[in-house]
Amino acid sequence: MTALIVAVDGRRGRALAEDLAFEGAEVRLVVPAADPATAVADAMAGPEAAQLLGELSRVDMLIVSAERSALTAQLVAACDRFGVRIVALCTRDEHRRLASMFGVPIADEEADAASLLRAPASVPDAVAAERGRIIAVWGPSGAPGRTTIAVELACELARDGRAVALVDADSHAPSVAVATGLADEGPGFAAACRHAERGTLTVAELARIAVPLGPVEVLTGVNRPGRWPELSRDRVRGALEVCRQWVSDAVVDVASSLERDEEIVSDLDGPRRNAATLAVLAEADLIVAVVAADPTSVSRFVRGYGEMRAIAGATPVRVVVNKTRTGALGIDARGQVRRTLERYVGADDLWFVPWDVKAADAALLAAQPIAQVAGRSAFSAALRRFVGEAVDPPVRVRDVRQPRRQGRVSTRGRLARRAA
């Protein structure tokens, strides 16, 4: 007889326990989904925690909802020590990705009791993740909108069911956490870099330290600019390599500065302020270069583009002209920017994003991505077109909620670009 604990919320948990008992299993406890993880993390005190941990050490199986608060690295480690088999109940793609990260067998939320008892002891090879892609978002100084584009790009890529991470590697002015209303007291990307240096960074550890922003996993930046020495070149490269195993697309927001002056004035192999930016650009599979549609930003972009290209090498670069409006450049603003960039940097493929003040202000007020508060705005529409035309995913992922969106947008976008 299989002894087990059911950690599923509400009526579904009680009904599942009755079905399992009918199939001959010994149901020792029925608890809310997050209780085992909370008890293992020493966040739950009292006799309830002692009883739960005691039962967990004696059962053969734990059936738990595959939510971030319920399926944690500490719980998986504790079950491994106790020899308890975990079966994760999944309702969404993000639940399946989380379970596959930990190597936990996956079952559908509506699976019957008999199939749960026969769940395999390990995850089949078919769920192994493909090697992911690093997408760097760079732009000149002067707030062209790098962070905004990075956040919205990650949210748009996640709509198609891909596993997407947003990484703040800005060593000068990190702002992803502030812009999206996330707490930045946690370890974030700096902790991932420290683990990478010690060789202890794993997919499970990244999942533990990441903060969810809807379907996007976020590694927040350093909460004080003075901590920039933690983002050294080798650390960043090691962290990005594990990110490739963690998600399909990792969107990395970097600082604007590309100078190597500190290497000239010092013969010592010490920390470099711009090492994180240089490492990300060198490791990236795709670079999104952001320039604002005003004379100052275009001038700075022209000066920095050549140096960025020298660092990136043969890596493809997609140029996004953000904050496009006629007020700063007069009539035919797009044409002026296009001709200038074609002449001075040879950028013939450009994507324009409008200066949508209402959508940007609504996102700032709510501390949420524009895609969540103004999904039908002109800004969101332009960014969706950019993703469909220029950021083709390495592997097509079928989204059961929107099965035809990706292919149709990509084809229509390419035809529109050729016509332009």
Mind giving me the DSSP string for 335-373? HHHHHHHHHHT----EEEEE--HHHHHHHHHHTS-HHHH
- Same domain for 113 and 144? no
- Same domain for 176 and 248? yes
Considering only 225-229, 248-252, 273-277, 399-403, which range has the smallest mean pLDDT? 399-403
Residue matched to tokens 């097509």: 396
Structure confidence at residue 42 as a pLDDT band (50, 70, 90): low
- pLDDT recorded at residue 38: 83
Total number of domains in the chain: 2
Structure confidence at residue 409 as a pLDDT band (50, 70, 90): very low
Contacts 24+ apart (CB under 8 A), 361-368: 363/179, 364/179, 366/181, 367/178, 367/179, 367/180, 367/181, 368/180, 368/181
pLDDT of residue 243 exceeding 60:
yes
- What digits encode the pLDDT tens for the residues 250-304? 999 999 988 876 555 555 555 688 999 999 999 999 999 999 999 999 999 999 9
- Same domain for 77 and 186? no
Structure confidence at residue 379 as a pLDDT band (50, 70, 90): very high
- Same domain for 152 and 120? no
Pairwise CA distance, residues 408 & 59, whole Å:
50
- Residue where a domain stops, chosen among 127, 152, 177: 127
- pLDDT recorded at residue 413: 43
- Residue where a domain stops, chosen among 127, 162, 194: 127
- Same domain for 113 and 141? no
CATH number at residue 382: 3.40.50.300
- Same domain for 181 and 301? yes
- What digits encode the pLDDT tens for the residues 291-328? 999 999 999 999 999 999 999 988 999 999 999 998 88
Domain of 29, in residue numbers? 3-127
- Same domain for 106 and 141? no
Choice between 330 and 278, residue whose per-residue pLDDT is larger: 278
- Residue where a domain stops, chosen among 127, 151, 175: 127
- Same domain for 103 and 181? no
Choice between 318 and 68, residue whose per-residue pLDDT is larger: 318
- What digits encode the pLDDT tens for the residues 160-213? 778 899 999 999 989 999 999 998 777 789 999 999 999 999 988 898 899 999
Percent residues over pLDDT 90 in the chain: 44
- pLDDT recorded at residue 261: 60
Residues 6+ apart with CB under 8 A from 337: 291, 293, 298, 321, 324, 329, 350, 352
Give mean pLDDT, residues 229-238: 92
Helix (H) or strand (E) holding 236: helix 233-246
What is the model's pTM?
0.71
Give mean pLDDT, residues 363-369: 92
- Same domain for 145 and 121? no
- Same domain for 25 and 164? no
- Same domain for 123 and 142? no
- Same domain for 147 and 201? yes
Structure confidence at residue 124 as a pLDDT band (50, 70, 90): very low
Structure confidence at residue 378 as a pLDDT band (50, 70, 90): very high
